Structure 1
Amino acid sequence: MPPLTDRLTYAVGDIHGRADLLARLLDQVRADRVARAPTGRTLIVFLGDYIDRGPRSREVIDQLIAFADDPAFESRFLLGNHEDAMLDYLDGRISGLGWAKHGGDTTLRSYGVEPPKEESRTAWAARRDAFRAAVPPSHRAFLERCELSVVRGRLLFVHAGIRPGVALEQQDKRDLLWIRSEFLQAERDDPWLVVHGHTPKEEAYAGPGRLCLDSGSYLSGRLTAAAFDGADVSLIETHGRAPRRIPVRLAG
C-alpha cells in the first residue's frame, strides 16, 4: 500500500468524560512520538465525543485545551455529536431532555450543576441558565472552534463517517456526526482511509477504507489512538503495553 501520509500523524478516539484515560493516552502518544523522532511538528486529530457518559467531561476539555499548547504537536479537534448537542442546549435549540438520555446529565454534574430530577422538557430548559453560567468561556470557545473534518494525504478524519458517493465538500453535517450503517456497510470507491469514531466496540477495528478508534472508553475502560507513519498504522491503547500494528486498506 502506498504511504497514507507524508507526515507522522496521530488520531485519538472517543473520550466520553474519561479524563483519567486521556491523561494516560497522551503520555503514551508523547512517548511514541519521541521514539519515532520525527522532524517538525506532528499532527494529532481528536475525533470528537469528548464529553458525556463518563464522569469528568469538564476535566477532559481542560486537558485538551492545555494539550493544544504543546509545541511538538499541531492539534486539530473534530466536533462530535455529543459536543453538538451540548452547544444546542446552551443556545436553546433543544430542551436538553434528549441530550440527558445520551449522557448529558453527567456533563452537567462535571460542571457542578445538578441535573433536574424531573424528566421533562420544562425542567431541563429551566436548568439551562445555571449550566451556561458554569461553562467557562474558554470551553465554549473550544467547542465552537471544533471542525467537521480534517484531510491529510489519503487520510480523512471525521467523527462518524461519510455518506458514500457524496463529495467531501457536499457532505451533510448530520451525516458526519451521526451516520452509521449506511457508511459502515457500504462498498466505497473514494480514495480515503476514513478514520472515525462514534460506533464503539471494545477495541479499535478496521473495515474496507476505514478505521474506527472508538473503543467504548466510558464502559470498557479503554481509550485508543492510532499512529500513521507512512504506510504503517499502529494502535496505541491505554490497556496495551506497546503499540501494535493493524492492517488497513483503502476503499478505492
Structure 2
Amino acid sequence: MSYTFAIGDIHGCREPLRKLQAMIEARWASGTIVYIGDYIDRGPDSRGVIDLLKAGPAKPGWQWIMLKGNHEDMMVGAYAGRYDRDWWLDNGGLETELSYDGRVPTEVLAWADRLPLMHLDAHRIFVHAGVNPEVPLEKQSPQDLLWLRPQNSAYYWGKHLCHGHTPSRINPRTIGNRTNIDSGCVFGGKLTCAVFDDDVAGGPLEFLKAAW
C-alpha cells in the first residue's frame, strides 16, 4: 500500500506544520505529501515555513510536492510589478516581509514562482483553490486554480478534487467528490492533513489535525 497526504493552507504557522509532519512520520514509513499552497502571509513565521519546505524530507521514502497558492503568486507578482504591492502587504505580505527582515530574498521568489499549480495521481486532483468543471482539465486557467471558490461538487473527470484556499472552522470536510482541507489554522483553527490510499478511489480515509 502507498499513501498520499495533503496538507492545507499553512500561512506561516510553522509549529503546527512540524507537529503534523511528525504525526504523519510516526504512523507511516513512506508516502507522498502534497502541500496545497499558501505557505506564507498572515502568520508569524513565513520564513521558517519556507526554510522547512525548501529543505525537503529528512527521512528516506518520502516525496514532497509543493503547489503554488494565491499568496505565493501575490508575493511574486508584487515584487515583479505585476500586482500592486500594497494589495499583497494588506493581505498578509507585511508579516512575510517582517519575517525576512524587510525584503524577501530573490532565491525565495524564484522558488515560489516555479511551484506547480496542480498535482494529479490515478484517482485525485490536487490544486490550491479549485477547478472549473466546464473546462477541460488540461486547459484550466491559473486564475481558477489559484482563486476559485467551489460551491458544490462535480464529476471532475472521474477523480476526487482536494483543495484549500477557502478557510472554515467546519473544515476539513468532504462534499460529494470534493474535499476542502483549509481549516483556518492562521485564524485560530487547526492545520489539517487528508490521508488518501493511492490504490482506492474517492475521498480521504481520515483527517489528521495539529494545533499550536
> Aligned pair 1:51/2:55, yes or no?
no
Residue of structure 1 aligned with 2:161, choices 194, 205, 219: 194
Work out the number of aligned pairs and report it. 206
Write out the 4+ residue segments of structure 1 that deviate beyond 4 Å after TM superposition. none
Q: Which runs of 5+ in 2 are unaligned?
A: none
- Paired with 1:221 and 1:66, the residues of 2 have a C-alpha distance of 26
TM-score scaled by length of structure 2: 0.90
Equivalent residues in 2 for 1:1-252 (5 A)? 7-34=2-29, 41-68=30-57, 70-113=59-102, 131=103, 134-135=104-105, 137=107, 139-180=108-149, 183-185=150-152, 187-188=154-155, 190-202=157-169, 203-229=171-197, 230-231=199-200, 233-239=205-211
Offset at 1:68?
A: 4.0
TM-score scaled by length of structure 1: 0.77
Q: Secondary structure at the match of 1:10?
A: strand
Q: Secondary structure at the match of 2:52?
A: helix
Asked if the contact 1:45–1:75 (Cα under 8 Å) also holds between the matched residues in 2, the reply is yes
- Paired with 1:70 and 1:96, the residues of 2 have a C-alpha distance of 38
Q: Percent identity?
A: 37
- Paired with 1:92 and 1:21, the residues of 2 have a C-alpha distance of 33
Distance 1:45 1:189, change over 3 A: closer
- Paired with 2:17 and 2:106, the residues of 1 have a C-alpha distance of 21
Asked if the contact 2:152–2:175 (Cα under 8 Å) also holds between the matched residues in 1, the reply is no
Offset at 1:102?
A: 1.1
- Paired with 2:140 and 2:174, the residues of 1 have a C-alpha distance of 22
Q: Which runs of 5+ in 1 are unaligned?
A: 1-5, 35-40, 114-130, 240-252
Asked if the contact 1:213–1:226 (Cα under 8 Å) also holds between the matched residues in 2, the reply is yes
Higher Cα Rg, which structure: 1
Distance 1:90 1:197, change over 3 A: same
Asked if the contact 1:51–1:82 (Cα under 8 Å) also holds between the matched residues in 2, the reply is yes
Offset at 1:141?
A: 3.5
